[in-house]
Structure 1
Amino acid sequence: MFSGRAWRLVAFGDPEEGIELQETVWAEPPPGQLLIRVRTAGAGFPDVLMAAGRFPLLGAPPFGLGEEAAGEVVAVPPGSRFAVGDRVAGITAFLEGWGGYAEYAYLREHSTVRIPSGMTDEQAGGFPIGFRTAYAALVERAPVEPGQTLLVLGAAGSTGAAALQLGRALGATTIAVAGGPEKLAFCARHGADHVVDHRAGDMTARIDAITRGRGVDLVYDPVGGSTAATALRSIAPRGRIAVVGLASGSPVPLDPMDMLLRNYTAVGVLASPGEPAAEAAVWDRLADLAGRGEIATPVGAVHGFGDVPRMIAAQAAPGPGKSVVRVA
């Protein structure tokens, strides 16, 4: 048994009122999981949805928050491919009520990877969700090919910036869509070949100029709403839109007749784990790309463990990059 503190949601609503720091006990991990002493945990917009009661995969509180974490393994079940002392990052058992904003966390074994040499704790804590989601979209669900053009919405956000880097590593030309000079500069530093400010000027005309009228092969959409609707005007024939999220508050509005007449496809993306060996291979590939420096967590703000409720409230309109909580 391990004991420590964990941030837990006790009531839906304002995160600063509904999240409490509680003393908690963690038992030995069951098969398929491992237990880590947390050093860092990644944050994101799903935390906002969970706190508000709008995350579709979770029931009522109380439950722990934090989908991803990094640290040292302290316990494993028999037959695990990990060992006590391994430095790892992975996706937490948040769907079972155990999150990463805690001194200890359960990780899904087949959604966990040994941290590559040279990756910092902050990078490791924010690595799993963004890059696994980007991989699900750009490799598994709507594959982008070398030489194709990838348009990333919300490109200064955690999953958007991960998609920029992975898309570039896969050989695509990347166009980042974000709002304001600070976020555009961030995108340019993190894998964008071109940047477009959706708040200034004609977004469609800008994309048309970049692609010389051809349009884009794939739209990566974690935003939805009117921004995604505008991006659809720039999709090339036989193009795809990967529907990843709805940070705007509403999903992209799709018109089946428009899809038919302009011959494009919409693909839903949920990075759910597959068969264990195949899932482990995905993480090995991501770790290899990170180890070779082709992808790296675009760390933004780093928060203290005591700031979790305020940090979650701020995820509704975060600054550029991946927000990370330092636990230890």
Structure 2
Amino acid sequence: MKRWQAARFGEVSDVLRLEDVERPEPGAGEARVRVLAASLALPDLMMVRGDYPFLPEPPASPGQEVVGIVDAAGDGFSHPVGARIVGNSRADIGIGGFAEYTLVPGWSAMPVIEGLSDEQAAGFPGSFHVAHIGLHHRARLRHGETLLVLGGAGRTGSAAIQIGKAMGATVIATARSESKARFNREQGAHHVVNLSDPASNDEITRLTGGRGIDVVYDTVGGEAAATAAKNLARGARFLIVGFASGVPASLDARGLLMGDYSVIGVLSSFRDDDEKAATVHALTTMLAAKQIDPPVTAVYSFDQVPDALADRADGGHGQTVITVSSGGAPH
């Protein structure tokens, strides 16, 4: 079988290669999955470069999230052979999803929600599940509150816009270019601001009637996070989801105390079974009501993985997907 992997960390063009490898064998609680499509996101690029905290040593095999067909199941895996599922790959041990076959641990595996294409399903957990876990289970976002999404053009940021709007919040998103601002509005953002503009603080004050932001969904970190922290309502909840800027949010304890707000980390793998079931139910309902619609903005073929990663390094927005095989019988 074929798998994209890097024996050492470095730039994609220098280290990433399409290799012939043996099909992986599933252990207890996991399955071998024939990959139909895989999500491509910033962590995949970070993984190859050696900047991803969950992969401290090479080899690197990107492609964290996949949709595929269960090909072989280990003891205790809850989905049958032949099932179409979505889940995480074992990129953490160099068995990533940019491959013809990968391993999927049972804790991450779920049936694909009816109505989602392979391309939409591939990145759904890492975008819409994460956003719902953060906004509903962690921040307890309420109808009528104001949500600020840092990095609204990213895949999880755009999901947070859609889910926040579906939950009845007024959604303000951030963007540094007109194309990304337009994309944010297409996802349902009521307002878009550029935090690098010195007038952005006054704009947020105006948009919130002087109250400030109730919930921040931070996928950016760095200066954006610091600016957002100056515009919070009392009792605000600041969700740390990622740091696309390369610098995690740095929020000092004195500011937390005097501002009377909370900081919460959001990682969907830490959810319990009840939260997982509630999120699946809520997202299924939102999909059926057409309140959310996962945007797929770029699709690449399996042999274009290096090009796709290079394009991601230059920015972009929404969900990028690698198509690996069709839903029919394997070749």
Same fold (TM over 0.5): yes
* Alignment counterpart, residue 36 of structure 2, candidates 24, 39, 44: 39
After alignment, is 295-304 or 151-160 more displaced? 295-304
Map residues 48-67 of structure 1 onto 2, 5 A cutoff.
Answer: 48-67=45-64
The 2-side partners of 1:130 and 1:266 are apart by 20
* Candidates 138, 142, 156, aligned match of 1:141: 138
**Which of 205, 215, 218 is residue 215 of structure 2 equivalent to?**
218
Name stretches of at least 5 consecutive residues in structure 2 with no aligned partner.
326-331
| 8 A Cα contact 1:113 1:287, kept in partner | no
Q: Equivalent residues in 2 for 1:147-166 (5 A)?
A: 147-166=144-163
**Of the candidates 317, 320, 327, which is equivalent to residue 317 of structure 2?**
320
Quote the Cα distance in structure 2 between the aligned partners of 1:275 and 1:118. 25
2:109 alignment partner, SS class: strand
Matched, 1:205 2:191: no
Q: Pick which of 282-291 and 178-187 moved more.
A: 282-291
Match status 1:179 vs 2:176:
yes
Q: Give the match for residue 258 of structure 1.
A: 255
**How far apart are 1:235 and its partner, in Å?**
0.9
> How far apart, in 1, do the equivalents of 2:93 and 2:280 lie?
22
Match of 1:14 in 2: 11
RMSD between aligned alpha carbons? 2.0
Residues 284 and 93 (structure 1), Cα distance of their counterparts in 2 relative to 1, 3 Å cut: farther
Matched residues in 2 for 1:8 and 1:290: separation? 35
Separation in 2, partners of 1:18, 1:209 = 49
* 1:78 to partner: Cα distance: 4.2
Match of residue 231 from structure 1: 228
The answer (yes or no) to whether the contact 1:111–1:273 under 8 Å persists in 2 is no
CA 1:116–1:270: 2 relative to 1, 3 Å: closer
Aligned with residue 185 of structure 2, among 184, 188, 192: 188
User: Is 1:272 aligned to residue 269 of structure 2?
Assistant: yes
> Which string of whole-angstrom CA distances, capped at 9 and with x for unpartnered residues, describes residues 129-166 of structure 1?
11232133212322212221110000001110111112
The Cα of 1:325 is off from its aligned counterpart by: 1.0
Aligned length: 325
| Counterpart contact for 1:7–1:102, Cα < 8 Å | yes
Displacement of 1:282 in angstroms is: 3.6
One-letter identity of the residue aligned with 2:104: L
- Give distance in 1, aligned partners of 2:294 and 2:177: 21
| Residue 177 of structure 1: how far off its partner (Å) | 0.8
Instruction: Name the SS of the counterpart of 1:100 in structure 2.
Output: coil
Distance 2:27 2:289 in 1: 33
In 1, the alpha carbon distance for the partners of 2:51 and 2:234 equals 35
What SS does structure 1 have at the residue aligned with 2:189?
coil
Structure 1 residues without counterparts, runs of 5 or longer? none
1:232-267: CA deviation from partner (whole Å, max 9, x where unpaired): 111111112111111111112212222221211222
